[in-house]
Structure 1
Amino acid sequence: MIQNILVICLGNICRSPMAEGLLKQRYPDKTIGSAGLREITVGWSADPFSIRVMREHGLDISRHRARLLTNELLKDVDLVITMEKEQSDIVKYSFPNFKGKILRVGEYGNYDVPDPYSKNIKAFEESFELISQGIDQIDSHLMQPEKSAENGK
């Protein structure tokens, strides 16, 4: 059963905080976090456009602070969700013990979520829509069997 989910993007200030917010809303009983692959953004808040897009969808990510992906963050994780195939490959290479737990958010739709960093609000809205669509697909492929099993008890 998937209980702990970690979402990864490049800097942990645009896409992964949005995905983390959506996952926390959908699965309040699970442990959800996010991290980035670049050390330079550690401690930064979420991008103002990410905060704005999430606020428009009823979610507040204004307290988010970027973290760097580490073995410590991964130790109890059941599922790692990335935004791009290249990020999945980097995580698999850098943390080989977690290969079987890594999934791109657009895996079932065969797409990457482009990085909206330093682009306009429309780019952030498009990323949000792709993330939301990917989470819906992950839910139907990975999480629904859990719900069915729980209902069958």
Structure 2
Amino acid sequence: MINKVLVICIGNICRSPMAVALLRHHAPHLQVESAGLRACVGEDMDSLTAQVLADNQVPRPAHAACQLTDEQVRWADLILVMDQRQLRSITDTAPHTRGKTFLIGKWRDDFEIDDPYRRPIAAFQRTYTELTRCIEGWLPYLSSEDRQR
């Protein structure tokens, strides 16, 4: 069963913190963390990420951007990435992750989430909508034991 989910993007300030908030909101039984491949270490989530979460009444998690570590990779039952490039980067660097690393858009025809960084709020709203749809695709596979019975 999947209990621990790690969400990866590049800077760990836009897409992955938004995905963490959505996963925690829709699947509170999961432990969900995030990291970046080239993280803006120590930074809070982008202010537009926080605004879009607030506009949609999704609780904002505490956040400080962090660089992806081997420890996080070992901790996770499932690793979700935003695009094919990130998927290749992780699975090439750590081949043992191939069976647990997937596009967040896997159940939406391998949909990739564009980075809204330094773009207007409309890009962040689009990211929110896309992440919501992608996460909805994962929910049947992330159900708690009680829900599966």
TM-score range with shorter-chain normalisation?
Answer: over 0.9
Q: CA deviation at 1:145?
A: 9.0
In the alignment, the residues of structure 2 paired with residue 119 and residue 69 of structure 1 have an alpha-carbon distance, to the nearest angstrom, of: 24
In the alignment, the residues of structure 2 paired with residue 95 and residue 58 of structure 1 have an alpha-carbon distance, to the nearest angstrom, of: 37
In the alignment, the residues of structure 2 paired with residue 35 and residue 135 of structure 1 have an alpha-carbon distance, to the nearest angstrom, of: 17
In the alignment, the residues of structure 2 paired with residue 144 and residue 47 of structure 1 have an alpha-carbon distance, to the nearest angstrom, of: 29
Check conservation: 2:6, 2:79, Cα contact below 8 A.
yes
Cα gap change, 1:27/1:145 in structure 2, threshold over 3 Å: closer, same or farther?
Answer: closer
In the alignment, the residues of structure 2 paired with residue 147 and residue 14 of structure 1 have an alpha-carbon distance, to the nearest angstrom, of: 32
Q: Equivalences for 1:3-14 in 2 at 5 Å?
A: 3-14=3-14
Cα gap change, 1:52/1:145 in structure 2, threshold over 3 Å: closer, same or farther?
Answer: closer
Q: Which moved more, 1:5-14 or 1:131-140?
A: 131-140
In the alignment, the residues of structure 1 paired with residue 61 and residue 29 of structure 2 have an alpha-carbon distance, to the nearest angstrom, of: 21
Check conservation: 2:29, 2:144, Cα contact below 8 A.
no
Q: Percent identity?
A: 32
Tell me, which stretches of 5 or more residues in structure 1 are unaligned? none
Partner of 1:31: 31
Q: CA deviation at 1:46?
A: 0.3
Cα gap change, 1:147/1:81 in structure 2, threshold over 3 Å: closer, same or farther?
Answer: farther
In the alignment, the residues of structure 2 paired with residue 61 and residue 144 of structure 1 have an alpha-carbon distance, to the nearest angstrom, of: 22
Partner of 2:135: 135
In the alignment, the residues of structure 1 paired with residue 92 and residue 113 of structure 2 have an alpha-carbon distance, to the nearest angstrom, of: 20
Match of 1:24, SS state, is helix
Partner of 1:72: 71
User: Once superposed, which parts of structure 1, at least 4 consecutive aligned residues long, lie more than 4 Å away?
Assistant: 144-148
In the alignment, the residues of structure 1 paired with residue 65 and residue 24 of structure 2 have an alpha-carbon distance, to the nearest angstrom, of: 17
Q: Number of aligned residue pairs: give it.
A: 148
CA RMSD of aligned residues (A): 1.6
Question: Scaled by the length of structure 2, what TM-score is found?
Answer: 0.92
Partner of 2:84: 85
What CA deviation, in whole Å up to 9, does each residue of 1:34-82 have, x standing for no partner?
A: 000004x010110000000011111243631101111011212110000
Question: Scaled by the length of structure 1, what TM-score is found?
Answer: 0.90
